Amino acid sequence: MNRARTRLGALPMMCAAALMLAACQGAESEPAESQSAGPSGTSPSASASAPTASSPESSPTQSTASPDAPSSAAPELSQVHEVHGIRFFTPEQWTATGDDCDGECTEWDEWEIKDAQGKHVLTLIPTTATSPDGDMALYERELLDRKELENPGADTGFHPTSLIAEFWESTDQKDGEKDSGFDIALIDDEELAKRDENPDLNFFKVGEQSPMMWVEEDYLEDHGVPDDPTKQQAQQFLGTGQYALVRDILLSVEPAVG
């Protein structure tokens, strides 16, 4: 057999086979393309890396408000309390209980504001002492946060009042002992402006009363601010949800309606 003729004769057959294979591949690629294209005609890689506006990855409501995801927002202040000339708001199931002194309160008649689990969070003294109670330490104070209350209560004797978060260091004048602390409380702006190096006494005014209202030290200790804290520990607490909550409660204080 002539080998040259055999090769020449096989060439048309090979070409035909190649054409048939190409046609088959082209026929197979058409449905694959139609399946991979999205409604907008994007390729599979494009649709995976750039979600459309209707996809779950790009929807802020679906990504941030999932019913199973924990919420970082502070609880709603939906419960009102009225105590000795002021009212304030807390989350549901919180309590405010204390000495019902019917307007004849002394400086140590305390009211305790507790959360739904019964944890003592804030304290209110309806009529505070007006002396430093022997506290003759020298103070160095730094306001880490300050916010004026929105409703100062015109014509009620409720002075313009601020929430303060204050880190302080003190030196005892007798023995030189050093101490530090962190207060979150309400204070009358007039008192805040004229405070000097002593004493450490935060109070505001409602009519003839001079109440004090502050966040309990035990509550702060439970959330990373120990007794004799550092400034860094106090600053770290300012970024927590616990601080956001007590801040909102204190800022809700206003003169009672009745």
Q: pTM surpassing 0.75? A: no
Distance between CA 197 and CA 192 in Å, rounded? 12
Parallel/antiparallel/unpaired status of strands 178-188 and 86-90: unpaired
Neighbours of 233 (CB within 10 A): 16
Q: Structure tokens of 232? A: 């860094």
The per-residue b/e assignment along 171-205, b for 16 or more CB within 10 angstroms, e otherwise, is eeeeeeeeebbbbbbbbbbebbeeeeeeebbbbbb
Backbone angles phi, psi at 21, to 5 degrees: -65, -45
Write down how long the chain is: 258
Distance between CA 182 and CA 230 in Å, rounded? 9
Whole-number pLDDT of residue 59:
35
As averages over each run of 10 residues, the pLDDT of the chain (258 residues) reads 36 42 45 39 36 35 32 77 89 88 66 95 83 80 93 73 95 93 94 80 85 95 96 97 96 84
Neighbours of 227 (CB within 10 A): 12
202 neighbors 212 (Cβ within 8 angstroms): yes
Distance between CA 33 and CA 35 in Å, rounded? 5
Distance between CA 80 and CA 244 in Å, rounded? 18
Backbone angles phi, psi at 48, to 5 degrees: -80, -35
Nearest to 218 by CA among 115, 126, 145: 115
Distance between CA 23 and CA 92 in Å, rounded? 73
Whole-number pLDDT of residue 44:
34
Q: What is the DSSP letter of 116?
A: T
DSSP-derived 3-state class of residue 212:
strand
In the numeric block, the tokens 């002593």 are attached to 198
Whole-number pLDDT of residue 222:
96
179 neighbors 228 (Cβ within 8 angstroms): yes
The letter for the amino acid at 165 is: A
The per-residue b/e assignment along 98-121, b for 16 or more CB within 10 angstroms, e otherwise, is beeeeeebebebebebbbeeeeeb
Quick check: bond before 160 cis, omega within 30? Answer: no
Q: Residue 10: in which H helix or E strand, if any?
A: helix 3-36
